[in-house]
Amino acid sequence: MSHRLSLQLFKMTNVKALAIIVSLLVFTIAVAPNITGFVTAVDSGGCRGVPTLTLDPNPVQAGKIATARVSGLMDCNGKTVDLKLDSCFGAKLGSFRCVDKFCTSTFPVKLSAPKDYLIAACIDKNGNGYLYDAGERAASLFKVRSMPDVYVNKISFLPADPRRGQQVIPVISVGNRGSASAYFFNLRVTLSQKDSNNRDATITSWENNVQVDANSVKDFRAPGYSLSPGDYKVTVELDRLDYIVELNERDNNANAKLKVYP
């Protein structure tokens, strides 16, 4: 083989190699058009941690909103959390995106049928399209109830600034935040004043059985009292006999001050 023929073959080989390299570069750019020119690591799903799902309030009244929150995550900016019934393969309630590294975003959950639900929070941390990996699922029992929830909304007086000899009528505003009516529960109003030992001494008391519909507020008037000038305390107690079962028992009592002028 002559020297000239060898040189031509060498040039042809280099041209083919160059063409192959150019073709590979064109293919790579077409597949990954966002190349910046800098070497970047393949996304390995930097999101880590073990998710914990909480719902507040829980229990919640049927038809009322609870707030779903996921904690225990780190470096999960931009990841999506799906909320589903029963498991990560159940019906989807909704989703929210993690707006910071700790995924402090929240999502409102509202269910109308009273029962116990299992709510699942599902996050594809490593971006592989599956939710089988450890630390990608959390679940919480969500208790939805249809119950009354009575509370003392307000205590006022007629007249607002009573004087000696005037009858003072306490007006008790009772609310029911619940999704069920509260029937025939006890309402007691007690009027007291400090004695010589600085203790509350009962002057008079009135009680009756009342009813408040679901999601409503109702006013009740106690009998009028004619009082001497001075400072008084009015105490209101709802469901003192624990007749009704309600979602929150801690807001059934309230106090108010009453001043009678000369």
Q: Which one of 128, 145, 162 terminates a domain?
A: 145
Statement to judge: residues 248 and 197 lie in one domain: yes
pTM > 0.75: no
Beta strands at 182-194 and 167-176: parallel, antiparallel or unpaired: unpaired
Whether residues 156 and 112 share a domain: the answer is: no
Structural domain includes residue 221: yes
Hey, what are 62's tokens?
Answer: 């049927």
pLDDT of residue 42: 29
Question: Facing residues of 82 across strands?
Answer: 95, 122
The three-point CA angle 203-208-213 to 5° equals: 135
Cα 73 to Cα 57: distance, rounded to the nearest angstrom:
22
Percent of the chain predicted with pLDDT > 90:
74
Same domain? For 162 and 253 the reply is yes
pLDDT band at 50 (very low <50, low <70, confident <90, very high): very high
Residues 160 and 78 in one domain: no
What was the pLDDT predicted at 20? 40
And the tokens for 208? 């009756």
Give pLDDT, residue 45.
52
- CATH number, domain of 223, equals 2.60.40.10
Residue 256 included in any domain: yes
Please indicate, yes or no, if residue 27 is contained in any of the structural domains: no
Residue 126 shares a structural domain with residue 159 = no
- Distance between CA atoms of residues 212 and 83, nearest Å: 35
pLDDT tens digits, residue range 167-203? 999 999 999 999 999 999 999 999 999 988 888 999 9
Gap between the Cα atoms of 214 and 233, Å rounded: 30
pLDDT at 134: 87
**Looking at the domain assignment, is residue 13 inside a domain?**
no
What span, in angstroms and rounded, lies between the C-alpha atoms of 215 and 177? Answer: 5
52 and 116 fall within a common domain: yes
Does pLDDT of 7 surpass 90?
no
CA distance to 97, 209, 236, 247, per residue, from 149 (Å): 34, 16, 16, 6
CATH number of domain containing 70 = 2.60.40.730
What are φ and ψ of residue 16, in 5° steps?
Answer: -65, -45
Using one digit for the tens of pLDDT, what is the confidence trace for 133-178? 889 999 999 999 999 999 999 999 999 999 998 999 999 999 999 9
Q: What is the pLDDT, as a whole number, of residue 14?
A: 47
Q: Domain check: are 200 and 154 in the same one? A: yes
Q: How many domains does the chain have?
A: 2
Q: What is the DSSP string of the chain?
A: --HHHHHHHHHHHHHHHHHHHHHHHHHHHHH-TT--SS---------EEEEEEEEESSSEETT-EEEEEEEEEES-TT-EEEEEESSTTS-EEEEEE--STT---EEEEE--S-SEEEEEEEE-TT-SS-S-STTSEEEEEEEEE----EEEEEEEEESSS-BTT-EEEEEEEEEE-SSS-EEEEEEEEEEEEE-TTS-EEEEEEEEEEEEE-TTEEEEEEPPPEE--SEEEEEEEEESTT--S--S--TTSEEEEEEEEB-
Question: Are residue 164 and residue 208 in the same domain, yes or no?
Answer: yes
Tell whether 140 and 218 lie within a shared domain. no
In the predicted model, is pLDDT for residue 8 greater than 60? no
Is it the case that residue 24 has pLDDT exceeding 90? no
pLDDT top residue among 19 and 228: 228
Query: In the listed set 91, 124, 145, which residue is the last one of a domain according to the structure?
Result: 145
Dihedral sign for Cα atoms in the order 118, 123, 129, 131: negative
Question: Which pLDDT belongs to residue 46?
Answer: 86
Asked if residue 219 is part of any domain, the answer here is yes
User: How far, in Å, CA of 260 to CA of 228, rounded?
Assistant: 7
Q: Are residues 161 and 239 in the same domain?
A: yes
Per-residue model confidence as pLDDT tens digits over 99-122: 999 999 999 999 999 999 999 999
Residues 101 and 185 both lie in one domain: no
What is the predicted pLDDT for the residue at 99?
93
Domain of 94, in residue numbers: 48-145
Given this model, what pLDDT does residue 130 score?
A: 86
Q: Is residue 225 part of a domain?
A: yes
Is residue 24 in a domain?
Answer: no
Domain boundary among the residues 145, 167, 201 is at 145
Whether residue 254 is contained in a domain is answered as yes
Do 188 and 256 lie in one domain? The reply is: yes
What confidence score (pLDDT) does residue 12 get?
Answer: 45
Q: How far apart are CA 57 and CA 65, in angstroms?
A: 8
